[in-house]
Amino acid sequence: MAYRSTDALAPLVVRLRAVVHLTDKEAEIIRALPFTVREVKAGWEIVREGDRPSQSCLILDGVSCRFKIVGDGGRQIVSVHIPGDLPDLQSFHLKTMDHNLATLTPSRIGLIPHSAIHHLMMSSPRMANILAREGLIDGSIFREWICNIGRRPALTRVAHFLCEIFVRYRLIGANDGMTIPFAFTQTELADAQGTSTVHINRVLKVLKTDGMISIAGKALTVHDWEKLQETGDFDARYLHLSEAEAAAV
């Protein structure tokens, strides 16, 4: 159930530091945010299209995604979120949800009241700035996603996606060498890439056969990072990492 634990917001601080410099004092302010934690299972719908949430959600553990259902019943996943992400920060400004947010794996999520976010943004222009940046990076990732689906063939698209989540996991230090958590089903990958499960299967097979990656259990290992990046037409600049982090990619 809901409880409060010490420094549970650490993933957020780590995540923000990948993109912006935070002083110790600023980090302290963030860690002091009020929140409640919930443990939820896979497939839990955190917020639904049409909802008007009064809190925003922080992923503490697990993977979530935002998605919409189109007219013929198809699902399009528009983003995936890992620990440290604030996938519905926007609901603070845009009151009505225009999409759904759900967990893909069993997860721990932190719920931060909008009032606290309001307070944080008012506390200093810099904090407001940092949160605004988060939302805009979100937008940048959407733009890249549009390019992926619109103009890159499925193999490239999937490779690009793998590169992105690999970098994002590494940013939060959730990698084990070249291995990252990877619990996506092929159906989920298909819904994210705007393709079919069968084709995802075909494309993954190529990436494995060509020695770029392997998937075992719920983990992905990258064996040839150079080749994967090249295959995926991947350039991390759209993630707007801090210079230090960018250098590490």
Question: Contact with a second copy (CB under 8 A): which of 170, 199, 202, 240?
Answer: 240
Which helix (H) or strand (E) segment holds residue 129: the answer is: helix 125-151
Q: How many residues bind a second copy (CB under 8 A)?
A: 45
Q: Which two three-digit tokens encode residue 149?
A: 């689906």
CA distance linking residue 186 with residue 184, whole number of Å: 6
Residue type, 204: L
Contact positions with DNA (CB under 7 A) in 178-197 = 185-187, 194-197
Q: Quote the least distance from Cβ 147 to DNA, whole Å.
A: 14
CA distance linking residue 41 with residue 19, whole number of Å: 30
| By the rule CB under 7 A, 133 interacts with DNA | no
Contact positions with a second copy (CB under 8 A) in 214-233 = 233
Binding mask 114-133 for a second copy (x = CB under 8 A): --------x--x--xx--xx
Query: Of 4, 52, 22, nearest to 120 (Cα)?
Result: 22
Beta strands 107-113 and 100-103 are unpaired
Q: Which two three-digit tokens encode residue 38?
A: 């919930």
Q: Which two three-digit tokens encode residue 22?
A: 């935070």
| By the rule CB under 8 A, 143 interacts with a second copy | yes
What residue 217 binds from DNA, a second copy, none (CB within 5 to 8 A, per partner kind)?
A: DNA
Complex with a second copy: residue 37 or 86, whichever CB lies closer? 86
Q: Quote the least distance from Cβ 225 to a second copy, whole Å.
A: 17
| By the rule CB under 7 A, 76 interacts with DNA | no
Q: How many CA atoms lie within 13 A of 34 on its CB side?
A: 8
- The footprint of DNA (CB under 7 A) covers 153-155, 185-187, 194-199, 201-202, 204-205, 217
